[in-house]
Amino acid sequence: MATRVIIVRHGQSSYNAQQKIQGRSDGSVLTEKGRLDAEKVGEALKSIEIAALYCSPLQRAKSTAEVIQSKLDNPPALQPTDRLLEIDLPIWENMVKEEVKAGFPREYRDWHDRPHEFKMILADGSEHYPVLSLYEQAKEFWQDVIPRHQGQTILIVAHNGINRCLLLSAIGIPVSRYHSIQQSNCCINVLNFTGDFGDPVQVESLNQTAHLGIPLPPPRPPFHGTRLLLVRHGETQWNRDKRFQGIRDIPLNENGKAQALQAAKFLKETAIDNAVTSPLSRPKETAEIILQYHPNVTLDNRVDLTEICHGLWEGMLEEEIESNFPGMLHEWKVAPETVQMPEGENLQQVWDRAIACWEEIVETYSAGDGPKTVMVVAHDAINKVILCYLLGLKPANFWYIKQGNGAVSVIDYPKGAGSTPVIQAINITYHLGAGILDKTAAGAL
């Protein structure tokens, strides 16, 4: 049984509002907005059975945890731990960000461009590597905590930097990607550990903010680039039945149409400039339902966004596949990169065409001036591959990413094509009415 880990960033602090560097300084306190948002997190989590609640001892995180704890139906004891302290930036703490940029231009550039190489020279002449140290701290936390909570749900309330390192180290993403994921104040992340630290971990969701009344996390300012909304199609009956569909053109079922309509309402107020879909009917119909609120947007079909071809598996249930192709289904689940679908594709082929298509979409729709938002509606395997690629993962990590029917993920290219993407959110399903957990059908691809 998986160990579910819910990770929350603290609410807005006084230093956040003042654009000051916090680090391990404990002079920053929750603002009124931060406290109100913490209450919303507590309401979103209140009915979930949480076995343990860990937090940073710094007051902005500890206060957030206390507010959340007060809202839970069966609150566990609060366990502050130094292993959840924020990144240590002793030279910059308490300074306004603009002062840091002006006073430490080279170091600030390294901080953003090469976080794994960023260092500070301390007063005693020693070298301090803040991000590398924080990454090791996160690993130590996991090594200590995960073995103690097998099969349980635990809650962590901490900070922007340590949360990023917790997520990166759990999934096996290199620390150089530190700035590639976003953590908004009072966001919610959900990870599912399949075993101990070092075993595969599924990202159920990243940086959810809809529980705060913010449907999509806002881009990091200043933003002049391209935002992509990666959507999985609504449910089909074959999804519901756990029947492998692949390139079979299976339409949405009634629940799938309802999910698409919920996604449409969720994105109704989002300005969508362009939209792209796989040509199969299930993503195409999903896109068309969403675009009813964006009537001036033309829908572009891209054949390379078509779902993985399962070949002879298509139309079969798992037990039928095991009967006809003994052992292959197990290999698909534990080592997906090694499987050649009989008379179908392998994962590398899907990876190559999906990534080439994604890069072409980014390039095409980043042309011109001003920020743009592009919606891409595709399939489970296609979306998983794209998100793995953007996170610096490999085909072997295919199952690390969850994509629910009707889910929305958000990827920003701050300066358009060619700039380093920022994964703003993964697998938002809050609009489907089940809260912060993904409860869509766990069907076949």
Q: Is 307 a catalytic residue?
A: yes
Residue type at 135 in one-letter notation: Y
Q: What is the DSSP string of 249-299?
A: -PPB-HHHHHHHHHHHHHTTTS---EEEE-SSHHHHHHHHHHGGG-TTPPE
Residue type at 23 in one-letter notation: G
Is 282 annotated to bind a ligand? Reply is yes
Closest CA to 26 of 42, 5, 47, 10: 10
Question: Exactly one of 211, 233, 310, 379 is catalytic; which is it?
Answer: 233
Per-residue b/e over 76-90, b at no fewer than 16 CB within 10 Å? bebebeebbbbbbbe
Closest CA to 33 of 227, 214, 277: 214
Q: Is 269 a catalytic residue?
A: no
Per-residue b/e over 132-164, b at no fewer than 16 CB within 10 Å? bebbebbbebbeebbeebeebbbbbbbbbbbbb
> In the numeric block, which tokens belong to residue 303?
């054949």
213 contacts 39 by C-beta, under 8 angstroms: no
Is 233 annotated to bind a ligand? Reply is yes
Is 92 annotated to bind a ligand? Reply is no
Give the position of tokens 């295919």. Answer: 398
DSSP 131: H
127-128/78-80 β-pairing: unpaired
Distance CA 126, CA 287 (A): 55
Distance CA 47, CA 365 (A): 42
Is 99 annotated to bind a ligand? Reply is no
The residues with which 401 forms a beta bridge, in sequence order, are 203
Surface-to-core class of residue 293, CB atoms within 10 Å of its CB (0-12 exposed, 13-18 middle, 19+ buried):
middle
Per-residue b/e over 212-241, b at no fewer than 16 CB within 10 Å? beebbbebeeeeebbbbbbbbbbbbbbbbe
Question: Exactly one of 66, 204, 307, 314 is catalytic; which is it?
Answer: 307
Surface-to-core class of residue 323, CB atoms within 10 Å of its CB (0-12 exposed, 13-18 middle, 19+ buried):
exposed
Closest CA to 167 of 5, 38, 1, 30: 5
> In the numeric block, which tokens belong to residue 362?
């980014």
Is 277 annotated to bind a ligand? Reply is no
Residues with catalytic function: 233, 307
Annotated binding residues: 232-239, 282
Annotated binding residues for substrate: 232-239, 282
